[in-house]
């Protein structure tokens, strides 16, 4: 018996090794594609696109073929029938999920969606430029239909929007997301109204002026230095749409500079730092498997928002950072930390554009998109009705009505990519950021004094220990529960914003 067991263990070991080698290949192809995309956004010459598109398409199809090969399925079956535990079981769980999804959708449909989206992108761009929703509507309808078909292949019995949502957030139920978003809507609408009615006079022009690009870049490097970014495993570049990407060995940040928006480049750099810092906290030895990969979009966004908002928009941060900023920009000599703090936290209740929104109104932009795309995908809303519904919701939730579709339902690129189900992860990320920050402070005490001294090791240490080092070891609800002793809740976010903005805007009932 003992011998049989040993043999069975050895054979399980061989199978697992084969399986892991396969998983590493897939991961390496994906990471190579990541470098090609970074290159395309950051350094590729303008006319490189035709070749790059073919290179990326080849890598993507190779990765798909490796994942969906019969051999992968056989290895998964075999491993699942043995008694895997712990890390190995987690790797099998993650690959199984991906395998099931990719094998259930016919490759023809995937290619049709991809081709339709390629075609949709210029149509959307034109429609936005011309403020002409009709020009985009037929393609949008096609994409909605194709994505419903896609969802049906994955699970014909499920709510198709829940299936699409799971592409971005596989382990959080759509019901949880809906519950959180509804709560945000219920609580934020009156809070923003109260701010709108407030007479408080914030120092909103602390960063008014024209700021040189090179100096802004030097300051962005100061920000990253100050937060403890590891330059031996990263770099800073500019990109039209800032992003971060990479692996634990090489996690790069991009940002952008606009002459009249110094504050925007600072907060955007801190945001991208948060993403890269998560990636850098993944264990080296897990590289190439889910154990060395970040959890999904909401958790990733929790890291960028924690640093951007809970650190970068805090009063102590500006006490620490303003003197550094003044060295690059002597014109800030008369700005006080309190003024910088107020400028970084101004609420724009009349803003129509999501990407320009503040920490509060942002979530209403998300709620509106979430409700609309959910209804579209469920078949409860016709494409032609999107502009009116969009505008009505803006009026209802934000008290402002877009005058054009260009600044209304055509503003975001996502739907033209066929991305439905993505937006809510931004808000879930904010909510989780507040929950994690509260848990970290409960564990380690308030970080204010450290932030004021420019010390971030204690906070980052907690994040490394409770979030980063686990990679995809735990499914998201378990990761959250282990880190915070609670399930995902909007409580901490709402507590944070009511306390912060109640004080900033001198609100009676907050």
Which residues of the shown chain bind its own copies in the complex (CB under 8 A)?
24-25, 28-29, 31-33, 35-36, 39, 43-52, 54-55, 57-59, 61-62, 230-235, 247-250, 252, 284, 287-288
In the complex, minimum distance from the CB of residue 282 to its own copies, in angstroms, rounded to a whole number: 11
SS3 237: strand
Gyration radius of the chain's alpha carbons? 24
Contact status, residue 311 vs residue 455, Cβ threshold 8 Å: no
Give me the count of residues in the chain. Answer: 510
Phi, psi at residue 380, to the nearest 5°?
-90, -5
Strands (E), 149-272: 236-238, 244-247, 250-255
Q: Is residue 272 flagged as an active site residue?
A: yes
In the complex, minimum distance from the CB of residue 230 to its own copies, in angstroms, rounded to a whole number: 8
Residue 22 or 183: the one with the smaller Cβ distance to its own copies is 22
What are the residues whose beta carbons fall under 8 Å from the beta carbon of 509, sequence distance 6 or more?
194, 502
In the complex, minimum distance from the CB of residue 240 to its own copies, in angstroms, rounded to a whole number: 17
Please check if 301 is assigned to a binding site: yes
In the complex, minimum distance from the CB of residue 215 to its own copies, in angstroms, rounded to a whole number: 17
Residue 35 or 110: the one with the smaller Cβ distance to its own copies is 35
Residue 248 or 435: the one with the smaller Cβ distance to its own copies is 248
In the complex, minimum distance from the CB of residue 59 to its own copies, in angstroms, rounded to a whole number: 6
- Could you please report the per-residue DSSP string of 65-134? HHHHSHHHHHHHHHHHTTT--HHHHHHHHHHHHHHHHHHHS-HHHHHHHHHHHHHHHHHHHHHHHHT-HH
Report the alpha-carbon distance of residue 96 to residue 384 in Å, rounded. Answer: 39
Residue 60 or 351: the one with the smaller Cβ distance to its own copies is 60
Give the distance from CA 355 to its chain's centroid.
Answer: 13
Residue 96 or 235: the one with the smaller Cβ distance to its own copies is 235
Report the alpha-carbon distance of residue 38 to residue 60 in Å, rounded. Answer: 15
In the complex, minimum distance from the CB of residue 168 to its own copies, in angstroms, rounded to a whole number: 25
User: Which strands sit side by side in the sheet containing 250-255, from one edge to the other?
Assistant: 236-238, 250-255, 244-247
Residue 44 or 406: the one with the smaller Cβ distance to its own copies is 44
Q: How far from 241 is each of 265, 346, 350, CA to CA, in Å?
A: 12, 23, 24
Please check if 275 is assigned to a binding site: yes
Residue 247 or 302: the one with the smaller Cβ distance to its own copies is 247
Contact status, residue 216 vs residue 265, Cβ threshold 8 Å: yes
Torsion sign, CA atoms 272, 278, 284, 286: negative
b vs e for 55-77, b when ≥16 Cβ sit within 10 Å of the residue's Cβ?
beeebeeebbebbbeeebeebbe
DSSP secondary structure code for residue 321 in this structure: H
Q: How many CB atoms lie within 10 A of CB 495?
A: 12
Catalytic residue among 272, 293, 342, 371: 272
- Could you please report the per-residue DSSP string of 207-225? T-S---HHHHHHHHHHHHH
In the complex, minimum distance from the CB of residue 277 to its own copies, in angstroms, rounded to a whole number: 14
Closest CA to 340 of 204, 227, 452, 217: 204
- Could you list the residues known to form a binding site, using ranges: 271, 275, 301
Supply the residues annotated as catalytic: 272
- Could you list the residues known to form a binding site for Zn(2+), using ranges: 271, 275, 301
């Amino acid at each position: 018996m003992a011998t049989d067991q040993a043999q069975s263990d050895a054979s399980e070991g061989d199978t697992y090794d084969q399986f892991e080698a396969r998983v590493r290949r897939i991961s390496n192809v994906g990471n190579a594609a990541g470098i090609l995309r970074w290159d395309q956004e950051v350094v590729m010459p303008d006319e490189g696109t035709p070749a790059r598109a073919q290179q990326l398409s080849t890598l993507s199809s190779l990765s798909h073929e490796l994942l969906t090969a019969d051999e992968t399925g056989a290895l998964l079956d075999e491993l699942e029938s043995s008694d895997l535990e712990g890390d190995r079981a987690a790797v099998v769980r993650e690959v199984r999920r991906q395998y099931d999804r990719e094998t259930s959708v016919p490759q023809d449909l995937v290619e049709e969606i991809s081709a339709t989206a390629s075609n949709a992108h210029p149509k959307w761009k034109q429609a936005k430029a011309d403020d002409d929703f009709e020009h985009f509507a037929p393609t949008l309808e096609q994409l909605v239909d194709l994505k419903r078909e896609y969802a049906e292949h994955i699970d014909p019995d499920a709510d198709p929007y829940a299936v699409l949502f799971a592409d971005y957030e596989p382990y959080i139920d759509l019901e949880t997301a809906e519950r959180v978003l509804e709560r945000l809507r219920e609580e934020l609408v009156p809070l923003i109204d109260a701010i709108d009615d407030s007479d408080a006079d914030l120092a909103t022009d602390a960063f008014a002026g024209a700021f040189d690009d090179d100096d802004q870049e030097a300051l962005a490097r100061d920000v990253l230095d100050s937060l403890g970014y590891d330059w031996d495993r990263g770099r800073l570049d500019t990109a039209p749409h800032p992003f971060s990407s990479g692996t634990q060995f090489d996690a790069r940040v991009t940002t952008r500079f606009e002459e009249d928006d110094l504050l925007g480049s600072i907060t955007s750099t801190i945001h991208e730092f948060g993403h890269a810092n998560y990636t850098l906290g993944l264990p080296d030895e897990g590289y190439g498997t889910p154990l060395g990969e970040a959890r999904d979009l909401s958790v990733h966004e929790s890291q960028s928002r924690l640093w951007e908002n809970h650190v970068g928009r805090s009063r102590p941060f500006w006490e620490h950072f303003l003197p550094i900023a003044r060295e690059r920009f002597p014109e800030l000599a008369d700005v006080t930390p309190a003024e910088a703090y107020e400028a970084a936290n101004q609420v724009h209740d009349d803003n129509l554009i999501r990407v320009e929104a503040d920490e509060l109104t942002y979530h209403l932009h998300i709620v509106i998109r979430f409700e609309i795309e959910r209804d579209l995908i469920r078949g409860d809303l016709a494409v032609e009705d999107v502009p009116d519904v969009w505008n009505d919701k803006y009026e209802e939730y934000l008290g402002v009505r877009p005058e054009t579709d260009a600044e209304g339902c055509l503003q975001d690129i996502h739907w033209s990519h066929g991305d439905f189900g993505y937006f809510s992860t931004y808000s879930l990320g904010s909510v989780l950021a507040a929950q994690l920050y509260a848990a970290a402070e409960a564990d380690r005490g308030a970080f204010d004094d450290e932030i004021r001294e420019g010390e971030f090791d204690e906070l980052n240490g907690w994040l490394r220990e409770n979030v980063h080092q686990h990679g995809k070891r735990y499914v998201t609800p378990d990761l959250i529960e282990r880190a915070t002793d609670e399930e995902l809740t909007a409580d901490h976010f709402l507590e944070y914003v009511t306390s912060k903005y109640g004080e900033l805007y001198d609100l009676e009932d907050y």
